[in-house]
């Protein structure tokens, strides 16, 4: 049975991805689409509801991102959030203007129409999260004001007959007391969602769709051995079997013993067509003398493509390339006016000469924790599903400055010690991602009777649900002490270990 769908139209808001997560967590499949999606294409997707996101612009400016008013007349319930609320007012004939006083952070909210389905079970006075300079100065004809704050006379509005609802605040963030209840009310009561979407149904439908799309064509998979690419490969393998060939490129920047482990898992556990390409010399040769992190990523990405192109020609005619791209990669690769954070995931940057008809990304709309749940549904072992995330460029993004074989070997050893101690402390399931970084800092130390001038290793451990934001983990001092002692004593060339206590934002999870 086809699952119900809610579409989130993205207007550049920082919480767009979080809205989608909240909807999925409530049991409804959700996809984020750009605001430029044509109304006809939106209607063809047959969503049961549409959500208009926040954004940093003023809706009345000529350059503001806007969908057409037709979106409000498709007969599909619509919820506008923050900028999306202002846009709904603007498109429906209301007036939006700079507010006499902007609102940011926690604000007391008063519901003036508690009988509305959106506010069922919501206390009449509660706290919401605001972030706006503009506001709805005059609601459109046919809309009633349904909530207010001290500085925002129209904190929510609705046209119940048309199924149009708007809130100036952000119900998707935890700081809004009854935000999740409001979203659930919109989904269940307004949109009529059954809220029964589960990962198993998603897996079955995606595998069936892949089988139909691919047909008899041959496919190659860019297999890194990480969670994302492995789950993507297993999905495609379930769909087409031996038509899939997994190509694993060992670029010399993997974790300790990882290449051998990946080969064993794919050949023995999943019995896939598997090709291992030992290209360490090729990658490290091209990276010699390069210190700029963006240049390193581009060199690795370009070399990856060339290696795949070369290997795929040996296989013969190939129809598709599978990649384990997940939703945070899509967001951080940049779309439209968005900033590019992870260029090595930017599919649009692939060279035109690559001889594939199309790239298949079966995990493109999933977050990391959803990928893990999907992996378990597919029967992949917990040890593999819960394997530590690892970036496509490998240790290249964890070696600051120039990359050399010696630096890579040093970091492999330090990182292995850190992972061993975290596992022995029973913390590996509690931490979303943890790893070591080889900084380009050298400092004076004392070892034995002599002075040293050696490298500094930085340790990083974060907790996150979606990898879009993250908090550092307050690791126990005894664990940090053991890790530091072992690295300094067991890894030649290191005389100092430090721990990173920065959140994302302002930092990213990786260092580079």
- Which amino acids are annotated catalytic? 82, 170, 172
CB of 43 closer than 8 Å to CB of 71: no
Nearest to 64 by CA among 72, 55, 73: 55
Asked if 247 and 258 touch (Cβ cutoff 8 Å), the reply is no
DSSP per residue, 227-252: HHHHHHHHHHHHHHGGGEEEEEEE-S
- Give Cα 229 distance to the centre of its chain: 14
- CB contact set of 453 (below 8 Å; sequence gap of 6+): 442, 443, 444, 445
Which of 217, 208, 262 shows the shortest CA–CA distance to 238?
A: 208
Can you tell me whether residue 46 is helix, strand or coil?
Answer: coil
Identify the DSSP state of 217.
-
- The sheet carrying 244-250 orders its strands as 273-278, 244-250, 219-223, 320-322, 358-360
**Closest C-alpha among 112, 154, 156 to residue 137:** 154
Phi, psi of 194 (to 5 degrees): -85, -15
For residue 310, how many C-alpha atoms fall within 13 Å in the half-sphere facing its CB?
12
Residue among 189, 152, 197, 186 nearest 52 (CA): 186
CA–CA gap between residue 221 and residue 246 (Å, rounded):
5
User: Residue 478 CB: number of other CB atoms within 10 A?
Assistant: 9
Residues 412 and 407: their CA atoms lie apart, in Å, by 9
Query: At a CB cut-off of 8 Å and minimum separation 6, what does 285 contact?
Result: none
**Cα–Cα dist 345/365, whole Å:** 14
Contact call for residues 90 and 67 (beta carbons, < 8 A): no
CA atoms within 13 A on the CB side of 383: 5
Buried b (16+ CB within 10 A) or exposed e, 90-104: bbbebebeebeeebe
CA 357 to CA 503: how far, in whole Å? 40
What is the bridge-based pairing of β-strands 156-159 and 164-167?
antiparallel
Containing 373, the helix (H) or strand (E) segment is helix 368-377
């Amino acid at each position: 049975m086809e699952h119900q769908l809610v579409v989130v139209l993205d207007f550049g808001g920082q919480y767009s991805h979080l809205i989608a997560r909240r909807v999925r967590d409530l049991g409804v499949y959700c996809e984020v689409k750009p605001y430029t999606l044509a109304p006809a294409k939106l209607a063809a997707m047959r969503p049961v509801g549409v959500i208009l996101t926040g954004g940093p612009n003023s809706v009345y400016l000529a350059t503001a991102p806007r969908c057409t008013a037709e979106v409000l007349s498709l007969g599909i319930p619509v919820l506008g959030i923050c900028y999306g609320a202002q846009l709904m007012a603007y498109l429906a004939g209301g007036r939006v203007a700079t507010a006499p006083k902007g609102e940011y952070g926690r604000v007391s909210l008063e519901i003036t129409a508690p009988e509305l389905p959106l506010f069922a079970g919501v206390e009449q006075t509660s706290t919401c999260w605001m972030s706006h300079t503009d506001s709805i100065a005059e609601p459109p004809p046919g809309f009633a004001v349904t909530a207010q704050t001290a500085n925002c006379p129209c904190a929510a509005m609705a046209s119940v007959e048309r199924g149009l609802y708007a809130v100036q605040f952000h119900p998707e963030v935890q700081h809004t007391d009854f935000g999740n209840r409001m979203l659930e009310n919109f989904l269940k009561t307004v949109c009529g969602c059954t809220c029964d979407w589960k990962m198993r149904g998603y897996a079955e439908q995606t595998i069936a769709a892949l089988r139909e799309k691919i047909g008899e064509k041959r496919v190659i998979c860019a297999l890194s051995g990480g969670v994302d690419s492995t789950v993507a490969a297993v999905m495609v393998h379930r769909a087409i079997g031996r038509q899939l060939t997994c190509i694993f490129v060992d670029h010399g920047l993997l974790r300790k013993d990882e290449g051998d482990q990946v080969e064993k898992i794919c050949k023995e556990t999943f019995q896939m067509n598997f090709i291992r390409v030992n290209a360490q010399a090729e990658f490290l040769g091209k990276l010699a003398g390069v210190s700029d992190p963006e240049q390193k990523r581009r060199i690795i990405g370009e070399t990856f493509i060339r290696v795949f192109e070369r290997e795929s020609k040996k296989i013969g005619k190939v129809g598709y390339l599978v990649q384990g791209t997940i939703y945070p990669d899509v967001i951080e690769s940049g779309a439209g006016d968005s900033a590019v954070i992870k260029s090595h995931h930017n599919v649009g940057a692939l060279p035109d000469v690559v001889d594939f008809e199309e790239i298949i990304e079966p995990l493109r709309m999933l977050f990391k924790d959803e990928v893990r749940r999907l992996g378990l549904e597919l029967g992949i072992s917990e040890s593999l599903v819960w394997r530590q995330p690892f970036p496509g460029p490998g240790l290249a993004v964890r070696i600051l400055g120039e990359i050399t074989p010696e630096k890579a070997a040093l970091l492999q050893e330090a990182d292995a010690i850190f992972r061993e101690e975290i596992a022995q402390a029973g913390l590996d399931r509690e931490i979303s991602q943890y790893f070591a970084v080889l900084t380009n800092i050298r400092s004076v130390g004392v070892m034995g009777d002599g002075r040293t001038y050696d490298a500094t290793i930085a340790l990083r451990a974060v907790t996150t649900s979606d990898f879009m934001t993250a908090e550092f983990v307050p690791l126990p001092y005894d664990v940090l002490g053991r890790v530091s002692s072992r690295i300094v004593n067991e890894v030649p060339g290191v005389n100092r270990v430090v721990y990173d206590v920065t959140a994302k934002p302002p930092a990213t999870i990786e260092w580079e």
